[in-house]
Amino acid sequence: MAFDIEMIKKVYENMATRVDKARELVGRPLTLSEKILYSHLWEGMPSQAFSRGKDYVDFAPDRVACQDATAQMALLQFMHAGKSKVAVPTTVHCDHLIQAKVGATTDLEVANKQSKEVFDFLSSVSNKYGIGFWKPGSGIIHQIVLENYAFPGGMMIGTDSHTVNAGGLGMLAIGVGGADAVDVMSGMSWELKFPKLIGVKLNGKLNGWTAPKDVILKVADILTVKGGTGAIVEYFGEGATNMSCTGKGTICNMGAEIGATTSTFGYDDSMRRYLAATGRQDVVDAADTVSDYLTGDAEVYANPSQYFDQVIEINLSELEPHINGPFTPDRGTPVSKMKEEAAKNDWPLKVEWGLIGSCTNSSYEDMARAASIVEQAVALGITPKAEFGINPGSEQIRHTIERDGIIATFEKMGTKVFTNACGPCIGQWDREGSDKGEKNTIVHSFNRNFSKRADGNPNTHAFVTSPEMVAALAISGDLSFNPITDTLLNDKGEAVKLHPPKGDELPTKGFSVEDAGYQAPAADGSHVEVVVAPTSERLQLLAPFEAWDGKNILGAKLLIKAFGKCTTDHISMAGPWLRFRGHLDNISNNMLIGAVNAFNQEANKVKNQITGSYDAVPAVQRAYKAAGISSIVVGDHNYGEGSSREHAAMEPRFLGVKAVLVKSFARIHETNLKKQGMLALTFAHEADYDKIQENDSFDFVDLINFAPGRPLTIEITHENGSKETILANHTYNESQIGWFKAGSALNLIASGK
Ligand code: F3S
């Protein structure tokens, strides 16, 4: 679908010389991850070796992908960059805003009505700026990227944490915030701390009931949800080459669940088969010319402990199917231990729903193997005990599995076929009765199972497992059912046994689709008008933030002194606010409503220094803005940790907060604040946090001399008139100070300076 073979050939042309140079600079054999990183430096040819886990490095990704929820603000910002076209190939995918309720046709119609203005906006901006647009119903972003755009040795970023799925095709694909995507789309570099490397050696071969999903469920169990932080996970060994490309995608996808920067696999035959089956033989031909550069050096894989920061070894021949959960994806239980674990922890044994789908597990192979279990159950005369739903990963998959009779098989068991979209995986599931809050169990093949994620019910115990195990557990209706050893009773009361799943990795008759749901952008988008109704409550065109007036900020009031943890969720809540992601004014009504006020230990209750009364944080800030009064936010350690959501930086900027002064920042949030033209400052002396009082005013007395490496002086005036002076550190470099002066990084790009 209009993938750019010339761009891919260019990447491969550069690869050999850049990797050879990097090998010389580093002075040892290289992992695949290092090869991709060093061949995507912003500077082009490597000129130095980087320290893993230490150096910040500028990269030049090959592609960008955005999903509909995050694309809104990203594109609204991009429109300000003053570009006529995106600088790198970019796609937008409509998959998050479609609810699963009745079934695909009806649900899609409802979504098209409810989110029409958002879809129309995304479509018109894409058309105008050279962005490939995938319509609602076309499929889930990461399946579509794998089917159409991912390529071995490439680097891409995407505004969704499961962008990492493309590692299944040997890419380094990384989830980022909208602000990073805007930079790359605008032709700027993208910065990343040079990651650490975890090597996972896969021995043996998957067999019987065990699936690729079990590899990552096992890895998550070993590494836990934080174990991959700041690292790339690189898989290798005979077990890796023995599995399908989409199976590799599943494993990489859930790398997000262990906090990994991304995960990847070396180029092999499974990738050749997949690329060819998805119409990309020319990518195979190009990749084959540099195949040695698309995998780690042999010596690295022979002695991995010398080259990786950590090595894990798993024997696939002995691996058991796993069921991870509830409430966290790293709580792994092998199927043989589930009976005992469930009893010990009082998990409800009755399975109410089985769900197959999500970007993690919605490939042709996943559907085929799960259907083979359903087929057996039908033949054995078993009535399924739980309800069953599937979300195919793309229209291409849906159309092909319909042609191949797989959907008909599912339907024999009353399975609901939902839209080719995220659906229940992102809580877009109108599950009947979930509002009652009853304790219950569901099993699914998704990646995340945090409390309330699928159906909003905090008492739903969601377990993550492979699609074939979802099918078996839903048919049995029993979480402790072990299909390897246990029998089921059929409708005649006979004990029957399910055989291990079978299913083609790729459709033998090839993929087939009538309308994949792709809209190519206009060749010349200059005439395309982007329409946003001024009355819209979901979308709002952005106005550029005002440039700095060149003066010291004087008389700024304290808006809130946040106490303890203040994540991006505290600063800009998710949940129902999701619908305002494209409307900065409306979403700003959630600004800091989750932060705890240090003076009363309450959330969303701060003092309005003009009136002396207490009110919600956004209301107080709007009052300051209306009165032309500046304000600052004070925070504790690791302020802004969590997601890379740029709304957490844009909202305070939009409402007139001038500075955020904290003990320490989460780095991405600090950068986001800088990009939006805010002052992101840290106390030079942490203890100064305690000097801040509820009625304080702040004068930034030497802002006019703002310079790299030079702390800023802040004079605090307390309520009784007494004054104290403190120092605030910052990490702005020359060009970031340029962002501050211009009012935002985008203003600077747009000015062409
Ligand atoms: Fe969508 Fe769930 Fe993946 S929300 S992108 S299917 S993690």
Q: What is the pLDDT of residues 169-212, one digit of tens each?
A: 999 999 998 989 999 999 999 999 999 999 999 999 999 999 99
Asked whether 140 lines ligand 1 (CB < 6 A), one says yes
Which of 68, 107, 160, 183 is an active site residue?
Answer: 160
d(CA 31, CA 409): 43
Q: What is the pLDDT of residues 402-452, one digit of tens each?
A: 999 999 999 999 999 999 999 999 888 989 888 899 999 999 999 999 888
Length of the chain: 753
Could you tell me which of 580, 700, 603 has the C-alpha nearest to residue 651?
Answer: 580
DSSP state letters, 281-304: HHHHHHHHTTGGGGS--HHHHHSG
Asked whether 69 lines ligand 1 (CB < 6 A), one says no
Q: Which residues contact 694 (CB under 8 A, 6 or more apart)?
A: 558, 561, 599, 607, 719
The whole-number average pLDDT for the span 681-693 is: 98
Where are the CATH 3.20.19.10 domain residues in the chain? 556-751
Confidence of residue 531 (pLDDT cuts 50, 70, 90): confident
> 249 and 168 in contact (C-beta within 8 Å)?
yes
| Angle between helix 364-380 and helix 467-476 axes, rounded to 10 deg | 30
d(CA 206, CA 477): 26
ipTM score: 0.98
Q: What is the pLDDT of residues 490-527, one digit of tens each?
A: 999 999 999 999 999 999 999 999 999 999 999 999 99
Asked whether 422 lines ligand 1 (CB < 6 A), one says yes
Say what the pLDDT of residue 2 is: 56
Is the pLDDT reported for residue 569 higher than 90?
A: no
Is the pLDDT reported for residue 679 higher than 70?
A: yes
Residue nearest atom 3 of ligand 1, based on CA coordinates: 359
What's the CA-to-centroid distance between 95 and ligand 1, angstroms? 8
**Which CATH superfamily does the domain covering 556-751 fall into?**
Aconitase, domain 4 (3.20.19.10)
Report the CATH architecture of 322-488.
2-Layer Sandwich (3.30)
> In the predicted model, what is the mean pLDDT of the chain?
96
d(CA 373, CA 488): 13
Quick one: fold of 5-315?
Aconitase; domain 3 (3.30.499)
Say what the pLDDT of residue 224 is: 92
Asked whether 257 lines ligand 1 (CB < 6 A), one says no
What's the CA-to-centroid distance between 237 and ligand 1, angstroms? 29
For the beta carbon of residue 694, count every other beta carbon within 10 angstroms. Answer: 16
What's the CA-to-centroid distance between 426 and ligand 1, angstroms? 6
Percent of the chain with pLDDT over 70: 99
Is the pLDDT reported for residue 3 higher than 80?
A: no
> 194 and 52 in contact (C-beta within 8 Å)?
yes
User: Residues 584, 589, 555, CA angle at the centre, nearest 5°?
Assistant: 95
Asked whether 447 lines ligand 1 (CB < 6 A), one says yes
* Ranges 215-219, 224-228, 665-669, most confident: 215-219
d(CA 517, CA 39): 33
What's the CA-to-centroid distance between 358 and ligand 1, angstroms? 5
d(CA 421, CA 333): 28
d(CA 622, CA 182): 28
Q: What is the pLDDT of residues 88-110, one digit of tens each?
A: 999 999 999 999 999 999 999 99
d(CA 93, CA 122): 9
CA distances from 116 to 92, 277, 336, 527 (A): 15, 34, 48, 22
Asked whether 93 lines ligand 1 (CB < 6 A), one says no
**Best residue for ligand 1 mutational test, from 146, 446, 450 (most atoms within 8 Å of Cβ):** 446
- Label residues 198-224 b or e (16+ Cβ within 10 Å = b): bbbbbbeebeebbbbbbbbbbbbbebb
Could you tell me which of 632, 636, 731 has the C-alpha nearest to residue 686?
Answer: 636
What's the CA-to-centroid distance between 438 and ligand 1, angstroms? 25
Percent of the chain with pLDDT over 90: 92
Is the pLDDT reported for residue 1 higher than 60?
A: no
Say what the pLDDT of residue 495 is: 98
Is the pLDDT reported for residue 358 higher than 90?
A: yes
Q: Is 643 a catalytic residue?
A: yes
d(CA 463, CA 171): 29
Residue nearest atom 2 of ligand 1, based on CA coordinates: 425
> 441 and 349 in contact (C-beta within 8 Å)?
yes
CA distances from 737 to 465, 470, 662 (A): 48, 53, 19
Say what the pLDDT of residue 600 is: 98
**Best residue for ligand 1 mutational test, from 161, 213, 358, 366 (most atoms within 8 Å of Cβ):** 358
Residue that is written with structure tokens 């894990």 in the block: 312
Residue nearest atom 4 of ligand 1, based on CA coordinates: 426
Asked whether 68 lines ligand 1 (CB < 6 A), one says no
SS3 656: coil
Q: Is 95 a catalytic residue?
A: yes
Tokens of 753: 């300076």
d(CA 245, CA 247): 5
d(CA 27, CA 103): 57
d(CA 333, CA 327): 13
- Label residues 419-434 b or e (16+ Cβ within 10 Å = b): bbbbbbbbbbbebeeb
Q: Is 96 a catalytic residue?
A: yes
Where are the CATH 3.30.499.10 domain residues in the chain? 5-315, 322-488
What's at 190, amino acid-wise?
W
DSSP state letters, 318-355: TPPPEEE-SSSTT-EEEGGGHHHHHHHHT---BEEEEE
**Best residue for ligand 1 mutational test, from 68, 70, 91, 140 (most atoms within 8 Å of Cβ):** 140
Residue nearest atom 5 of ligand 1, based on CA coordinates: 359
Q: What is the pLDDT of residues 595-620, one digit of tens each?
A: 999 999 999 999 999 999 999 999 99
Which of 96, 570, 653, 730 is an active site residue?
Answer: 96
Could you tell me which of 741, 696, 706 has the C-alpha nearest to residue 598?
Answer: 696
Tokens of 422: 């995220």
Say what the pLDDT of residue 574 is: 80
Q: Which residues contact 685 (CB under 8 A, 6 or more apart)?
A: 726, 727
d(CA 531, CA 70): 19
Q: Is 448 a catalytic residue?
A: yes
Tokens of 602: 């309450």
